[in-house]
Amino acid sequence: MKEKYIVALAGNPNVGKSTIFNSLTGMHQHTGNWTGKTVANATGKCIIKDKEFSFIDIPGTYSIMSNSEEEEIARDYICFGNPDVTIVVVDATCLERNLNLVFQIMEITDNIIVCVNLLDEAKKKKIKVNLKKLQKLLGVPVVGTIARDKKTLENLKNTIYKVCNEEIIPNPNGIKYTSKIENNITLLEEKLIEIYGEDKVSKKLYRWIAIKLIDGEEKILSSIQKNLNINLQNQDIKEYLSNIKYELKKEDISENNFKDKVVSDIMKKAEDITQDVCTFENKDYGARDRKIDRILTSKTFGIPIMILFLGVIFWITIVGANYPSNLLFNMFNWIQDKLIIFADYIHCPQWISNMLIGGVYQTLTWIVAVMLPPMAIFFPLFTILEDLGYLPRIAFNMDGFFKKACCSGKQMITMCMGVTMW
């Protein structure tokens, strides 16, 4: 057994990766109830029993197939970071969507632990997840957690230790595509091994590269070339690949619909497993949420409701802040008068008392009196919106407008915070 291990925390956005990371490592990564808070990999250490584990908190991503720039960091680390264990954190309340990523990561590595988080939220929504059955169906260790409750992470720590110690050997039950696709993937995989040698990368990764070659996604292919130092422009490969594409075309699988077929096979498996392991006591689960969601993000009402919500919050902040601001001003002025009297009493030179009281003290207290009340009012109100889950809806409503300026709707959230400061 090695002395040091690297453990990656991957998963969809907003599933609690950073909360788990902070709890295990004692770090203070930003957490909050909207997607895309973590934008770069962060590292922290944790000792489990007698070994040291470096945890990498990765930005959330829905897929490692996507081309989006935001998801590039996550994709590159998951695919090429080569950690000893990858923990895929999934949301117990929407397992099906999260399992898509689990199956994609299973194509990269065997050493996976699935961490089913937000079990308390699932309980509230009357969703039961059969973790034992899920573990059996996935072939990898499955651990249930409530990240906000540190005690529930003990089992996760033990499982990480056991996987690294090879007491548990994950044997992922990954996706098998239709035989027409599988056969061609295997042929290309064997060709890659023949050209680059068995030791260059794992067999599993060769299979994944074969899938990506048939898929023909330029960005991922150039990432593979750069990170794995494999020249995919090799003439042999090119010729072999065009033969394979020709064979697939005969079976009605073109470059255009290959990805659709791959994705639909993954989605089908995620759906089947979710149906097997999840029980929804409330059959109408989510119906009310979806109804509210439709109104809050509708084209007609979405923006007026958002303006109303934000307008009320800014009004309460600006008007409400005047009262505590005045109180603070009066209090600081009263203290200032006393300080001047005290400075005269101890015969402090005029220039020193002017500098300390009229300069340092006055500037500092004015800033506190002006800035503190709006922040003390705005942030709790904003936290209510966050806990209600309204912030992602704001981002969704504004995304179209922000996209026109080559930005993302998520920037609206930071802009709102900026307006208060201003």
Ligand X SMILES: Nc1nc2c(ncn2[C@@H]2O[C@H](COP(=O)(O)OP(=O)(O)OP(=O)(O)O)[C@@H](O)[C@H]2O)c(=O)[nH]1
Q: Answer for the pair 35, 410: CB distance below 8 angstroms, yes or no.
A: yes
With binding defined as CB under 5 A, does residue 93 bind Mg ion? no
User: Which residue number, 41 or 135, has a Cβ lying nearer to Mg ion?
Assistant: 41
List binders of Mg ion among 31-70 (CB under 5 A).
37-38
List binders of Mg ion among 13-32 (CB under 5 A).
17-18
With binding defined as CB under 6 A, does residue 173 bind ligand X? no
Q: How far apart are CA 340 and CA 132, in angstroms?
A: 72
CB of 246 to ligand X, least distance (A): 41
Q: Name the one residue in this structure whose structure tokens are 């197939």.
A: 65
Residues with Cβ < 8 Å from 358, sequence gap 6 or more?
Answer: none
CB of 60 to ligand X, least distance (A): 2
CB of 410 to ligand X, least distance (A): 9
In this structure, what token pair is assigned to residue 13? Answer: 């956005």
User: Which residue number, 18 or 353, has a Cβ lying nearer to ligand X?
Assistant: 18
Among 7, 10, 15, 262, binds ligand X (CB under 6 A): 15
Q: How far apart are CA 39 and CA 307, in angstroms?
A: 28
CB of 22 to ligand X, least distance (A): 8
User: Which residue number, 31 or 63, has a Cβ lying nearer to ligand X?
Assistant: 31
Q: Tell me which of ligand X, Mg ion, none is bound by residue 392, counting a contact when its beta carbon lies within the kind-specific cut-off of 5 to 8 angstroms.
A: none
Judge residue 228's burial from the number of C-beta atoms within 10 Å of its C-beta, 0-12 exposed, 13-18 middle, 19 or more buried: middle
List binders of ligand X among 346-405 (CB under 6 A).
none
Using DSSP bridges, classify how beta strands 51-57 and 42-48 pair: parallel, antiparallel or unpaired: antiparallel
Q: Answer for the pair 85, 113: CB distance below 8 angstroms, yes or no.
A: yes
Q: How many of the other CB atoms lie within 10 Å of CB of 377?
A: 19
User: Contact region for ligand X (CB under 6 A) — 25-33, 95-103, 162-170, 224-232?
Assistant: 25-33
DSSP one-letter code for 35: S
Among 23, 35, 159, 420, binds ligand X (CB under 6 A): 35
In this structure, what token pair is assigned to residue 318? Answer: 């600006």
With binding defined as CB under 6 A, does residue 146 bind ligand X? yes
CB of 58 to Mg ion, least distance (A): 8
Among 72, 84, 96, 120, binds ligand X (CB under 6 A): 120
Q: Answer for the pair 115, 156: CB distance below 8 angstroms, yes or no.
A: yes
- How many degrees, rounded to 5, is the angle at CA 249 between CA 247 and CA 255? 115
Among 5, 8, 10, 13, binds ligand X (CB under 6 A): 13
Q: Tell me which of Mg ion, ligand X, none is bound by residue 83, counting a contact when its beta carbon lies within the kind-specific cut-off of 5 to 8 angstroms.
A: none
Across 164-282, where does the E strand assignment appear? Answer: 278-280
Binding residues for ligand X, rule: CB under 6 A, are 11, 13-19, 31-33, 35-38, 59-60, 117-118, 120-121, 146-148
